[in-house]
Structure 1
């Protein structure tokens, strides 16, 4: 407790003792104290404290007098200011020295508290402007703890959101992030300078845990994989039996693999006047050597190619690898992160990228930020996989971020506003509905991804084909 605060509390205590004596015949000591404490609380937050005890005592006196029997009010004197409240001779005037009027009429008026509040403001202004009484500035808040992380690029907008930064600042931390491909985070980035790693899948998180012998992990967000496309493409693929229309269009991975295997080109699809181009029917992905979203595409496609079963063992890996390689190498150049192809989808249109493999969260976030254009459509592959965004803490500060993202209601709600499925399912559903994104509440056709080792074997096999 500071010196000024101590003096104020002592003055309030003496005023209570004085009023207890004044109203000994009408009010109990407990009641007098309660009235004084309530009056004192009304001045919480006022920067100028010198005159607070005087005003508190006068308010309390007025209320107590109003509660006393009418024939006893005239016998009660208005208490004088406590001796140790400093007077400022510079603001004294003959008007200041006049005797205080009896308060009974003023107390009973509804404007009494307004007048008191005005008096405080005027007095504060006089002290600051006329008398220039020096006041100590409030101590600055303690500096925020800087926490550094490397994240999958699809979470960049979340961490850059001023509301997220403010919520974290309220917890005493400032998070600084750099983005990279999730597989890149797990395999080639030096993590020594970071407090946490936050790739977009459980396998990438498991890789980091293994390499650094860390048992702890957090999965505060998840996002199913989806396909961003355009209404004319939906119409063409529906005629080809690849897409099933509905409130939520679904994309048959099995029929798509049949088109890839046969080398079918867009121009060869029947009744295709919307996109009659002479290139293969392919879903655009990221680079499987660096990006988690490409690994999730491989997990989905390998499941279907393996007879609708999770790939396991050398024989199954060898069987599906040629088709998995074709899916990626036929695309030509692929970006390192999911941010690249999705931004091209948003800005360039259907010409170069008629179908883009993305996280559902990217599409919902773009809708919430008004970046979608008419004719853009979100499809869900059948089956799909769920990408579990996995935070691996590398330091105690990183562990704190993992706990906050997993448990703090405000941060969970903000994640939902960025399209990430979090613990606040209702908030996510509302965001999607408000922006006309037909995101299903419950995902049914979701399959498991291969084990970490199997997925790595498949990804390494695809990588070798790049030369």
Structure 2
């Protein structure tokens, strides 16, 4: 990607930050652009630094998905919480799943658990730390939408009606990693016994599947929540150069192909690049964008932030250690990489 940008005369260098923290970073507007992984984080940046904003762009997105295992989904299907379509794709019924969590259901209490997954652990999707990570924030937005009768939570009063369960989804997990890489790595290395379901971006599973030495093994499957929600990576530009970079992401066909290879779905004039890539790789387990018809919407920044603060307070009460922003953690990663898989 750096080579493509260089061919257009741009040397693009990236530093990393959690999406939710970008608006409050010192000197953020001295950059050419900020690139959070969600629309509401971008909305916060634009509202906070309105005078400095040149434009906003939405060049690509990734659906939220669940990395899991065939026996887990089969067990949930037996108990009315999952389904498998004719193409072999799995779907998790979010309303049914949330009811299982609300009732404190354990895996070994499900019908058929004795022969497939007889674990005494509570049914719970593993996610990243809600206090620092965008993917967990998307999980929160999706869950609040489902609990609000498949409608966007439009006020703090509506959110308060469901805060006990929304808090439980995260605090009950115990320790959570700050980046979506951490729980996915646990899924790949520790297996079904330790990590039966992980909330990830679709692109993470696809990118791993395409690696020469992929850790995806037989029985590992990707499931889509129903409804699902899109993590729309949104660029906020502060200069003409930043605007030009975002316009290249929106229009350059070579960049669109590279995005598809890393599991992202381009938007705009090169939107077909992702499905072309799937066809070339003969990857039939991933739906086309047009097949997503039940899609949740995010709440406003104010409502989402209020829910996050309530859950953070619950972490404090539980005695959990403070959240460590992803960009402050020691890492061996390439310094040009960004949080949550942004290129």
TM-score with structure 2 setting the length: 0.84
Q: Which has the higher contact order (CA 8 A, sep 6+)?
A: 2
What secondary structure sits across from 2:146 in the alignment? Answer: helix
Secondary structure of the residue aligned to 1:177 is: coil
Contact between 1:216 and 1:393, CA under 8 Å: does it hold in 2?
Answer: yes
| Partner of residue 251, structure 1 | 92
Identify unmatched segments of 5+ residues in structure 1: 1-163
Q: What's the offset of the Cα at 1:430? A: 3.3
Match of residue 144 from structure 2: 302
* 1:383 to 2:227 alignment: yes
Tell me the SS of whatever aligns to 1:404: helix
Give 2:285's match in structure 1, choosing from 438, 441, 448.
438
Which one of 163, 173, 182 corresponds to residue 19 of structure 2?
182
Which string of whole-angstrom CA distances, capped at 9 and with x for unpartnered residues, describes residues 131-167 of structure 1?
xxxxxxxxxxxxxxxxxxxxxxxxxxxxxxxxx1221
Residues 70-89 of structure 1 mapped to structure 2, 5 A cutoff: none
Q: What is aligned with 1:323?
A: 165
Number of aligned residues: 304
Which segments of 5 or more consecutive residues in structure 2 lack a partner in the other structure?
317-343
1:196 aligns with 2:196: no
Per-residue deviation, residues 38-64 of structure 1 (Å, max 9, x unmatched): xxxxxxxxxxxxxxxxxxxxxxxxxxx
Structure label with greater radius of gyration: 1
**TM-score, with structure 1 as normaliser:** 0.62
Corresponding residue SS for 2:136: helix
Q: Does residue 1:457 correspond to 2:306, yes or no?
A: yes
Distance in 1, matches of 2:285 and 2:24, equals: 35
- The question of 1:239 aligning with 2:239 is answered no
Supply the distance in 2 between the matched residues of 1:186 and 1:321 (Cα, whole angstroms).
25
Secondary structure at the aligned position of 2:34 is classed as strand
Q: Distance in 1 between matches of 2:217 and 2:22?
A: 32
Which residue in 2 is equivalent to 1:113?
none
Structure 1 residue corresponding to 2:2, chosen from 142, 162, 165: 165
Map of 1:289 onto structure 2: 131
1:178 match: secondary structure: coil
Aligned counterpart, 2:341: none
Summarize the Cα distance change of 1:237–1:186 in structure 2 as closer, same or farther, 3 Å threshold.
farther
Deviations 1:200-227 (A, max 9, x none): 1000111111121125111100111111
What does residue 187 of structure 2 align with? 345
1:89: which partner in 2? none
How far, CA to CA, are the matches of 2:131 and 2:278 in structure 1? 32
2:335 matched residue in structure 1: none
Asked whether 1:426 is paired with 2:264, we answer no
* Alpha-carbon RMSD: 1.8
Which digits, 9 at most, give the CA deviation of each residue in 1:254-284, with x for residues without a partner?
1101110110111211211332222110011
Query: Residues of 1 paired with 2:177 and 2:48: CA distance?
Result: 26
1:306·1:316 contact (CA, 8 Å) conserved in 2?
yes
Q: 1:466 to 1:437 in 2, by over 3 A?
A: farther
